[in-house]
Amino acid sequence: MIFKKGIKLLSLSILFLGLSALIHADKGFITVDGKNIEMDVERQYQAPASYPRKALRLAKEGYVIVEFDVSADGDVIDPFVLEGEPAGLFDRAAMKSIRKWIYQPPIYEGVPVQVNDVQVKLSFRVQ
């Protein structure tokens, strides 16, 4: 019974994490005339990250920082883990989620562009 209650609370926690992430745009860079220009990219869809069973069983919390590019069409390109704590425990769940994210196609001066080096932090918390 406690396990089911924990799952419900965990689901709500992940839902709230997802909703709060939608409020803020992520930042990346485009290169114009040899200069890097910071640019915001807005998420249109954020797939929920599933909590790994092992982490749940051990009541472990943590985070993963992932870096990727956003294509001119708004797709996530080449995501990779920069950092995770505890190392490796949440990486797979974070990558599976982020690969499904969709962004508003980035536009710079009326032209669709690819935005590079976008970094996001996914937190995994049991509440």
Lowest-pLDDT choice from 6-20, 67-81, 113-127 = 6-20
pLDDT at 126: 85
Cα Rg of the chain, angstroms: 16
Mean pLDDT of the chain: 87
Which of 70, 67, 79, 78 is CA-nearest to residue 105?
70
The count of domains in the chain is 1
Query: What are the tens digits of pLDDT across the range 82-95?
Result: 999 999 999 999 99
Of 106 and 21, the one with more pLDDT: 106
Which of 76, 74, 77 is CA-nearest to residue 105?
74
Query: How would you classify residue 74: left for phi > 0, otherwise alpha for psi between -120 and 50, otherwise beta?
Result: left
Q: Model-level pTM?
A: 0.80
pLDDT at 127: 76
DSSP state of 75: B
**Residue 11 confidence (pLDDT) above 60:** no
pLDDT at 24: 63
103 neighbors 70 (Cβ within 8 angstroms): yes
pLDDT at 102: 97
How far is 103 from 105, CA to CA, in rounded Å? 6
Query: What are the tens digits of pLDDT across the range 19-64?
Result: 444 446 899 999 999 999 999 999 999 999 999 999 999 999 999 9
Peptide bond into 112 cis (omega under 30): no
How far is 4 from 38, CA to CA, in rounded Å? 44
Which domain range does residue 100 map to? 2-124
Residue 26 is part of a domain; what is its CATH number?
A: 3.30.2420.10
pLDDT at 98: 98
Which of 95, 103, 124 is CA-nearest to residue 40?
103
DSSP state of 118: E
pLDDT at 48: 93
